[in-house]
């Protein structure tokens, strides 16, 4: 239907998460209709990000330097490490403005169903990081089977270390109605109740 090169662009855009047929077509047609001077910044940004973004040598978050801005910031609490599955989780927690420690990015979670084992994610570097200066490791993986499995594995691996291993609280969302909450969420909310 479309010329070959335009169809190839559509196919490549469909590989992006959350982009289906219609969105890929819209993006491709928009790119095609742009003038050269309007498309060059997009092309240059794609090339630049691919050439210049690396993983931080401490936490494995994305960075333009060997050590990311968070790990190199002396005002952050380096005795607290928040473990997340992906770099986008770092951004989500940073947006809250509530956390002042440092991070460790796993780049995945344990999932035996998908063939992802502990050796496939960035756990060993976390174990090495947890020396006597680390007081707490907060496991902030998603509250699903893979996230819970990963949290339990990390907890076991750090059991001989001097740091506390904690898990983000999970339970009822603000404004949620009890009769709409799934059983697992409700169970976690009951387990995590606190005194008021």
Which pLDDT score is estimated for 189? 78
Which pLDDT score is estimated for 10? 95
Nearest to 158 by CA among 127, 121, 123: 127
Which pLDDT score is estimated for 176? 75
DSSP 113: G
Which pLDDT score is estimated for 174? 77
Residue 104 backbone dihedrals phi, psi, to 5 degrees: -140, 120
Which pLDDT score is estimated for 141? 93
Which pLDDT score is estimated for 26? 96
User: Token pair of 174, please?
Assistant: 């603000």
- The domains located in the chain, with CATH, are 4-52 (1.10.8.420), 74-167 (3.40.1360.10)
Q: Is the pLDDT of residue 25 over 80?
A: yes
What is the overall mean pLDDT for the chain? 92
How many whole angstroms separate alpha carbon 131 and alpha carbon 192?
Answer: 29
Give the mean model confidence (pLDDT) for residues 159-175.
86
How confident is residue 143, by pLDDT bands cut at 50, 70 and 90? confident
Give the mean model confidence (pLDDT) for residues 70-79.
97
**What b/e readout covers 13-28, taking b as 16+ CB neighbours within 10 angstroms?**
beeeeebeeeebbebb
pLDDT tens-digit series, residues 96-118: 899 999 999 999 999 999 999 99
Which pLDDT score is estimated for 15? 96
Give the mean model confidence (pLDDT) for residues 82-91.
96
């Amino acid at each position: 239907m479309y010329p070959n090169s335009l169809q190839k662009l559509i196919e490549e855009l469909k590989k992006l998460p959350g982009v289906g047929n219609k969105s890929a077509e819209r993006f491709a047609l928009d790119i095609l209709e742009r003038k050269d001077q309007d498309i060059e910044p997009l092309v240059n940004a794609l090339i630049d990000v691919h050439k210049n973004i690396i993983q931080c040598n401490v936490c494995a978050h994305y960075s333009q330097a060997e050590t990311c801005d968070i790990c190199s910031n002396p005002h952050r609490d380096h005795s607290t490490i928040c473990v997340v599955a992906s770099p986008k989780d770092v951004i989500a927690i940073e947006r809250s403005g509530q956390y002042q420690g440092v991070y460790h990015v796993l780049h995945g979670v344990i999932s035996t169903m998908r063939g992802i084992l502990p050796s496939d994610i960035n756990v060993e570097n976390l174990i090495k990081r947890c020396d006597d200066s680390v007081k707490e490791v907060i496991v902030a993986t998603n509250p699903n089977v893979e996230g819970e499995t990963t949290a339990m594995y990390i907890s076991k691996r750090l059991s001989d270390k001097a740091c506390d291993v904690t898990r983000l609280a999970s339970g009822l969302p603000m404004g949620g109605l009890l009769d709409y909450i799934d059983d697992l969420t409700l169970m976690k909310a009951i387990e995590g109740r606190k005194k008021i």
